[in-house]
Amino acid sequence: MLGVGSLPEEVFKVCLRDDCLTVRMLRRRALKNFIKLAASAEFSKLVDVADMTVKRIGYVITEESRIAAVRNAVVKEYVEVLKLDLPLNKDIVDLLGGQPSWMLEELSSGNSVVDALRVAMMAFYMEYLDRSDWQQLDVLDFVAYAVLEMLRRGWVARSRAAELLKWITDQVLSASLPISTATGS
């Protein structure tokens, strides 16, 4: 459950998990490894690379009570971020535009990354509520965070980041398709 909640916790700095510091530290280590391996990978291969990277870190929660606590926290994190009245922190402003006092809803419409991110966050939220198996969501949430981090560092173009976020959203919403059979450009 290393990737679960990556978007609200890493991008928006909203973390309600009791293991937040540990997870964020491990996630950053996984991100470093992921970026090295994923720099030139096709869309459909990013998930495999992320899955391998996350598994290598080996952060596993097995106790049902802790799993339930993480699930509740992550759903609440997405609710917090999706309320759209969360002031943007400096990292988000630098990444997506706007001003520090702005809220997510105030970012200009037509910004392809912002639009794709909003849709992705809604998809993650809906699926975290509906699914009992979060394995695919775990990896996809991590990939979405990694894409935004690569954009922040200038390693991927805005148009490519928007395409990747849209592709991730399609994967999140296509619960009936195994991720490994997905195709991308």
Residue 1 placed within a domain: no
Residue 28 placed within a domain: yes
- Determine the pLDDT at residue 22: 93
E strand or H helix at 89:
none
- Kindly state the average pLDDT of the residues 117-145: 91
**Facing residues of 114 across strands?**
none
Residue 184 placed within a domain: no
Stretch among 16-20, 100-104, 158-162 having the lowest mean pLDDT: 100-104
E strand or H helix at 43:
helix 43-57
Cβ–Cβ < 8 Å for 15, 24: yes
Residue 183 placed within a domain: no
Parent domain of 21 = 6-175
Residue 67 placed within a domain: yes
pLDDT, one tens digit per residue, over 78-124 is: 998 888 667 777 777 778 877 777 777 777 667 889 889 989 999 99
- Determine the pLDDT at residue 184: 44
Residue 185 placed within a domain: no
Q: Count how many domains the chain has.
A: 1
Cβ–Cβ < 8 Å for 68, 56: no
Residue 32 placed within a domain: yes
Rounded to the nearest integer, the mean pLDDT of the chain is: 84
pLDDT, one tens digit per residue, over 49-75 is: 898 888 888 888 889 999 899 999 999
Residue 165 placed within a domain: yes
